[in-house]
Amino acid sequence: MLKRKRKDLGGIPTASMSDVAFLLLVFFLSTTKFDVKKGLGLVLPPASANADKKVKLNDDNITKVWINAEGEITIIFGDNEETITMSELEAKIKQIITENPDMVISLKTDRKSKYKNMVHALDKLQAAGAEKISLSTN
């Protein structure tokens, strides 16, 4: 008796299907970039017209940090006035705050100064642990 020839079944190979899918998955996983917002937080004082009470600060409790148009920093506390660099700012402020925890740091930036100078200084102030920070300009 002759054996009947089996008909070849036509099929799509599915074995590599998972490879394709995983490849796509890995591609999307590695190329997706999440836009996480990160920044230096600060709470502004209310506008002076709405402020019911103005707190008068003792001059001894204010340290002024001035940044001029060229990005140079002058620090004024009490009768002392000195020009320092950005890298010295953190240590200086840390020292002042340890001596007087009620110290308010007033960061005054020139209108023509670059924004990054102010952000770098604010970063240093927060790194030094200053909690009472006020921003102003001339």
Partner 1 sequence: MAKIKKAKKPETTIPTASMSDIAFLLLLFFMVSTVFVKEKGLNVTMPQADEIQKIPRDQSATIYVDRNGNISIDDLIVSIPDVKWVMQKKLIENFNVISCFRTDENTNYGIMSDILNQLREAETLRVSFEAKLKR
Name the minimum Å distance from CB 48 to partner 1. Answer: 8
Distances (CA, A) of 20 to 11, 16, 25: 18, 7, 9
Cross-strand partners of 125: none
40 binds partner 1 (CB under 8 A): yes
Q: Which residue from 1, 9, 12, 29 is in contact with partner 1, where contact means CB under 8 A? A: 29
β-strand 62-67 against 73-77: which pairing, if any? antiparallel
Residue 38 exposure: Cα atoms within 13 Å on the Cβ side: 4
Does 12 participate in binding partner 1 (rule CB under 8 A)? no
Binding site for partner 1 (CB under 8 A): 14-15, 17-18, 20-22, 24-25, 28-29, 32, 35-47, 49-50, 109-120, 122-123, 126-127, 135-137
